[in-house]
Amino acid sequence: MAILFHCPWDNAAAWLAALEHDLPHDEFRTLSDLTGSGGDVAEIDFAFVWKLPHGVLATLPNLKGIASLGAGVDALLSDPDLPAGVPITRLVDPLMKDRMAEYVTATVLHHHLGLDVYDRQGATQQWQRNRTTDASDRTVALFGLGQMGERCAKRLRALGFDLVGWSRSAKEISGVHCLHGPDGFEEALAAAEIAVLLLPLTADTEGLMNAAAFAAMPPGSYVINCSRGEVVVNEDLIAALDNGDPNSRHPNDGHLAGATLDAFAVEPLAPDSPLWAHPNIRITPHIAALSAAATAAPILAAQVHRARNGEPMHDVVDVAGGY
């Protein structure tokens, strides 16, 4: 059988090698094979893809499954010609959950300890000690309580942070005050001294973190975006960082004290984006939880075997729900 493989990352060759190792009887085809004379499209029964151009999947008549090479499926689901009835899976890899939990833990601690403030003080050789609070006195709100959110909660709980969580539907996670729905969103924002965004991008989450949401957060709070750039309205974030609030912990900050952003609507982030230049924003180039070929290949191979044996695949996306 054949599998369409579309991976625009710089380590695509390593991905292909890992997949060929775990699916030795399959032929891997790329987009250029589809447009050239690279075999019969009817032989392709699976697609492993990331940021595949829209419309390509609809040209494959015998697909049994479509697997995202990453945890997010928003790019896939935005294809208006998505073949109906073909299951789509997200990549759920324990390694990625750990990486995300490490990134979130490190970033929460960075802001909790005010290391961002020392970065700015250091730029002007300013020796000034600032007080911090106990982790138990700091409320971290996790927006999005999927598998990544749960793993982050576990790590943050071990450090003693007070945890609030918000999700679309009701969840229960030990040690987390779980909220849901619109009322729950307001309550979570009001508590969020550090808001960690782990939400999928859907029609409901696009632009969710806007001026009203930032205003509802406590003065001197922080935003960490590990979901998708479109969830945050950048102009509103910058305004909330710039507009001073006499109650904020650090007198030079605005209503929000800082942000760490790992995801952007357009990547790479344009050199002239005001986000780069803002002293209270730290940018990382979408690395919080990179997919890794070595651990993903056996997971993807197992999905193919399940589909070909007529068994249900794991981690199938709810297409109507958008994630």
Q: Are 41 and 61 in contact (CB under 8 A)?
A: yes
CA 193, 261, 94, 74 torsion: positive or negative? positive
Q: How far is the CB of 72 from ligand GLV (least distance, A)?
A: 3
Give the footprint of ligand GLV on this chain (CB under 6 A). Answer: 70-72, 291
Pick between residue 72 and residue 144 the one whose CB is nearest to ligand GLV.
72
Q: Is the dihedral of CA 71, 74, 77, 81 positive or negative?
A: negative
Q: What is the dihedral of CA 302, 303, 309, 314, to 10 degrees?
A: 120
User: Between residues 260 and 291, which has the closer beta carbon with respect to ligand GLV?
Assistant: 291
The least CB distance from residue 277 to ligand GLV, in Å, is: 24
Q: Which of 143, 161 has the CB closer to ligand GLV? A: 143
Could you say which of 151, 255, 282, 286 is catalytic?
286
- Which member of 228, 249, 278, 282 is catalytic? 228
Cα separation, 214 vs 46, in Å, equals 43
* 283 close to 291: Cβ distance less than 8 angstroms: no
Q: Is the distance from CB of 139 to CB of 161 less than 8 angstroms?
A: yes
Is 204:168 a contact under the CB 8 Å cutoff?
yes
Q: C-alpha angle with apex 41: 62 to 70, nearest 5 degrees?
A: 70
CB closer to ligand GLV out of 135 and 288: 288
Nearest to residue 162, comparing CAs of 126, 115, 122, 194? 194
Residue 286 appears among annotated catalytic residues: yes
For ligand GLV, the closer of residues 123 and 287 by Cβ is 287
Sheet holding 221-225, edge to edge: 177-180, 162-167, 139-143, 194-197, 221-225, 256-261, 281-283
Longest Cα pair distance anywhere in the chain, in angstroms? 68
Smallest gap, in angstroms, from Cβ of residue 292 to ligand GLV?
10
Of 66 and 191, which CB lies nearer to ligand GLV in the complex structure? 66
For residue 225, list its beta bridge partners: 197, 261
Q: Copy the structure tokens of residue 195.
A: 């808001």
CB 304 to ligand GLV: min, Å? 19
Q: How far is the CB of 319 from ligand GLV (least distance, A)?
A: 16
Shortest gap between Cβ of 91 and ligand GLV (angstroms)? Answer: 6
Catalytic residue IDs: 228, 286
